[in-house]
Structure 1
């Protein structure tokens, strides 16, 4: 399993960050810290691109939900982009798809932030 990485890849009206590696119980604290740093930058619209995430369990999902709560508390919007198909099932099975908005592409997600 690979350690999670959150890397800023674009700026402008939206902060886009490529997320890679594995998000699970062993790496949850690392992922959580990286998302907190990302949100602390102060951008108003944040788009994590999850295309590089190879594995995510309930602890990884909790990291994403925590990032969403932190973003909302700071007045920011956080939406997901490019969620790999196997990972799409986790929010569906747990019923959090209403909370974690996901878009097929980064461009689609950025369009929401540009409104």
Structure 2
């Protein structure tokens, strides 16, 4: 019973740490968005630029692929970090949160 309580305590602590990290990430994203707003760059500006005709269709497709790959990579790395942290703290049991990090 004591091992079960210790495992549960560790799991709760890992969950708290993960929630704190996600809060930090979201805070940094909010700061980044505020900076972009301050300097006049909006999230849709990149999309509008890609569709503006100022770059060739080949360059546009390449840029879109790179952006998609970057987003996928960041999301995958975040998911793996959460899984690793949980598995190290919970003796191999992994339960990944469904929270998504906004990019």
User: TM (normalized to structure 2)?
Assistant: 0.28
Which structure is higher in helix share? Answer: 2
Q: Which has the larger radius of gyration?
A: 2
Greater relative contact order, per chain length (Cα 8 Å cut-off, separation 6+): 2
Which has more strand, going by share of residues? Answer: 1
Normalised by the length of structure 1, the TM-score is 0.26
